[in-house]
Amino acid sequence: MKPATRYMLSTAGLVGFLLIWEAIAQSGLIETHLLPPPSTLPGTLISEIELGFWQSMVWASLRHYTIGFVLGSLFGVVLGVSVALFPRVEASQAWLARVFRPIPPLAWIPFAIIWFGISETAAAFIISIGIFWINYFTAMAAVQAVDKDLIEVARAFGHRSFFALLRKVIMPGAAPGILSGLRAGLGQGWMTVVAAELFGIAGIGQRMIEASGLLASEVVVLYMFSIALLYGVSDYVFVAIQKRILAWQR
Amino acid sequence: MAAVIHTENLAVAFGEGDKRDVIFQNLNLSIEQGEFVTLIGVSGCGKSTLLRVILDLQEPTEGSVKTDAPKDKSKRSIAMVFQAANLMPWRTIAENIVLGLEGLEVAEDVREERVKSTLKLVGLEEMGERWPYQLSGGQRQRIGIARGLAVEPDILLMDEPFGALDAITRTGLQDELLRIWEETKKSILFVTHDLEEACYLADRVVLLGGKPANIVNEYKIEIPRSERRDGVEFLKVTEEVKAGLSEAIATTMAERDKEKQGSL
C-alpha cells in the first residue's frame, strides 16, 4: 500500500467514526447525556478552559504522570539491568518478583493513601508501579540478549573492566530493548493516571468523576480525548528521540 | 629471526574430575617475525581455543605464552580478526576501527590518521561514516581486518575470518590479505578449516591432531604465491597436506574413542 493511500484511509476511518457517532447522537434514539454528540466537544473545551479547569487539571495530571514515569522508569531500568548482570541479584529477586509482579497498580491505592495521604506523591507512586514492572522486565531481557560475541571482541581489544564493558557493549547493545520498554511505560502510565486520581487528588481523573456525577457526559468525553491527545504527543516525541538514538538500526 | 610468539608446554583442559577434557597438551608453537602461519586440524582440537589463550581471553591450564611487549603505548602487541566480523552495530565504521585504540595513548590526530590509513589499506576509504548494516559481508570482514591493524600489532590472529563468505569474495579477500601482509610485514597466525586456503596463504602450515591434540606435522611452503593458484608444484604440496590431514583425522578419532572407553 502506498503511504498516501494508507494516510487517507486512516483519516477516513477516524472521520467516519465521528460522523456515525454524531448521526446516532443527533437521531434522538439515545439521550444526549448517555451519548453526547462529538460536535459539542469544541464548545465544552472552550468553556472548560474559560472556567480554568482544563489547563489546571491537565497540568496536575501531567505532573503526576511525569514524576511517576521518571521514578518507575529509573528504578525499573536500574534494577532490571542489575538483575541481568549479577547472577546473585537475579537469584534473590526470582521469587520476590513472582510475588509482587501480579499485583495490579490500583491494588496499591490503599497503601498509597496510608503512606502518602491524599497527595500528589500518592498518585505518582501508583502510576510508577505499572511503569516500574514493564521496565524491570524489558531491561532485564534486553541486557540478557546482548550479543556475547561483541563482549568477546571488546575484551580482545583491551576493554576488560566491568565498567568498560558496560559502557562500550552492554548498555549500547541493550539500548533498543530498554527504549522500547520506556515507550511501553509511556502508554501504561496514562492508563493509570485517571484511576490514581479517582480518590480525590486533583487531575483529569477527578474532574471526570465530578462531571459524571453531574451527568455532564460531554465533559467526560472531552477529558477522554485530552488523554488520547497527551499520549499521542508524548509518544510522538518519544519515537522521534528514539529514532535519533537508534540511527544505527536498519 | 626472532620469534614473536612462543607457546611453552601449553595445555588447556575443561571440566573437573571424571569430566576433565584435555583439549591440547605440551603445545610448543613459535611464529617468526613477519611469518604467515596457517593452522589446520581436526575439528575440536582447540584451534580457536589456542588463539584465545594467546590473546589472554582464556587462561591456560599449564604452560605460558611469550610475546613481546608492544613497542609503545599507542600499540597493542596482538590483535584478532574474528570469524563473523562482529562489528558493533551502534558504532560507525570509523568508530569500530578505533575500538582497540580507546584506552591506548593515542592523540586524536593519530587516531584519525590510523582510521584513514587502515581504511585505505583494505580499500574502503569512503566508508568511514557508514553504519555496519550498510556494508556487505565481505566489506564488514575487511573492516574487521582494519580494526585489527589499527592498533599496529606485531601479530595478527585470524580465526577462520573468511569462513562465512562466498567463494568469490573469499578468493578476493585472500589476495587482499596477502597484499596487506606484504605491505605491513605483520606476523599472522591464521586458523582455517579450508585446506586450499591454508596452503595458498601460508609460509608454513601447522597441522593439529590427536587427543589431547598437539602439532602432528608442519609443512613449509616455499613456492612463490603467484604460482600457487594453479601450479603443478603447488598441487603436489596440497595433496601432501591433504594426506597428512586425513591421517591425522583417523588417528585423532581412534584416540578419542580410546579415551572414551577408558573413561567408561
Nearest CB partner across the interface for A248, out of B90, B102, B103 = B90
Which distant-in-sequence residues (6+ apart) come within 8 Å of B163 by Cβ?
Answer: B83, B192, B193, B194
Residue from B48, B88, B143, B149 whose CB has the most chain A CBs within 10 Å, to mutate? B88
3-state secondary structure of B24: strand
Please report, for residues A59, B8, B26, B91, B215, the alpha-carbon distance to residue B60 in angstroms, rounded to integers and kept in the order given: 63, 11, 11, 33, 17
- Give contacts of B86 with chain A, Cβ < 8 Å: 147, 149-150, 152-153
CA distance B41 to B219: 13
Number of Cβ atoms within 10 Å of the Cβ of B28? 12
The reply to whether residue A149 touches residue B84, judged by beta carbons under 8 angstroms, is yes
Read off the pLDDT of each residue in A78-82 and give the average, rounded to a whole number. Answer: 96
The reply to whether residue A158 touches residue B76, judged by beta carbons under 8 angstroms, is yes
Residue of A nearest to B84 (CA): A149
Tens digits of residue pLDDT in A200-217: 889 999 999 999 888 889
Tens digits of residue pLDDT in A62-72: 999 999 999 99
Q: Are A226 and A232 in contact (CB under 8 A)?
A: no
Tens digits of residue pLDDT in A112-145: 999 999 999 999 999 999 999 999 999 999 999 9
Please report, for residues A28, A164, B186, B187, B218, the alpha-carbon distance to residue B78 in angstroms, rounded to integers and kept in the order given: 83, 20, 10, 10, 23
H helices present in chain A, as ranges? 3-27, 41-50, 53-85, 87-100, 109-116, 120-144, 148-156, 162-165, 171-196, 204-213, 217-245
Which distant-in-sequence residues (6+ apart) come within 8 Å of A245 by Cβ?
Answer: A175, A179
- Burial of B68 per CB tally in 10 Å (0-12, 13-18, 19+): middle
Per-residue pLDDT, A29: 84
Determine what percent of chain B falls in helix, strand and coil, rounding each to the nearest 5: 45, 25, 35
The reply to whether residue B99 touches residue A157, judged by beta carbons under 8 angstroms, is yes
- Give contacts of B80 with chain A, Cβ < 8 Å: 156-157
The reply to whether residue A168 touches residue B86, judged by beta carbons under 8 angstroms, is no
Give the rounded percent of residues in chain B with a pLDDT score beyond 90. Answer: 37
The reply to whether residue B57 touches residue A155, judged by beta carbons under 8 angstroms, is yes
Residue of B nearest to A169 (CA): B88
The reply to whether residue B84 touches residue A175, judged by beta carbons under 8 angstroms, is no
Per-residue pLDDT, B1: 52
Phi/psi at B159 (5° precision): -105, 95
The reply to whether residue B88 touches residue A152, judged by beta carbons under 8 angstroms, is no
Range A226-232 contact pairs with CB under 8 angstroms and sequence separation of 24 or more: A226/A54, A226/A58, A227/A190, A227/A193, A227/A194, A230/A58, A230/A61, A230/A62, A230/A190, A231/A186, A231/A187, A231/A190
CA–CA min distance B94, chain A (Å): 13
Residue B13, phi-psi category: left (phi > 0), alpha (psi -120 to 50), beta (remainder)? beta
Give the rounded percent of residues in chain A with a pLDDT score beyond 70. Answer: 100
CA–CA min distance A160, chain B (Å): 9
Per-residue pLDDT, A31: 84
CA–CA min distance B82, chain A (Å): 8
Whether chain B has a CB inside 8 Å of the CB on A149: the answer is yes
CA–CA min distance A236, chain B (Å): 23
- The DSSP 8-state label assigned to residue A30 in this structure reads S
Check whether the bond before B212 is cis (ω within 30° of 0).
Answer: yes
CA distance A42 to B239: 87
The reply to whether residue A158 touches residue B104, judged by beta carbons under 8 angstroms, is yes
- Residue B138, H or E segment: helix B137-150
Per-residue pLDDT, A236: 95
Answer yes or no: is pLDDT of A250 > 80: no
Q: Are B2 and B33 in contact (CB under 8 A)?
A: yes
Answer yes or no: is pLDDT of A9 > 80: yes
Per-residue pLDDT, B227: 82
The reply to whether residue A158 touches residue B100, judged by beta carbons under 8 angstroms, is yes
pLDDT 10s per residue in chain B (264 long)? 577 888 988 888 888 877 888 888 888 999 999 999 999 988 888 888 999 999 999 999 988 888 887 777 888 889 999 988 899 999 999 999 999 999 888 889 999 999 999 998 888 988 999 999 999 988 999 999 999 999 989 899 999 998 888 888 888 889 989 998 998 889 999 999 988 899 999 999 999 988 888 898 899 988 888 888 877 888 888 888 888 888 888 888 888 888 777 765
Three cell numbers, residue B198: 591454508
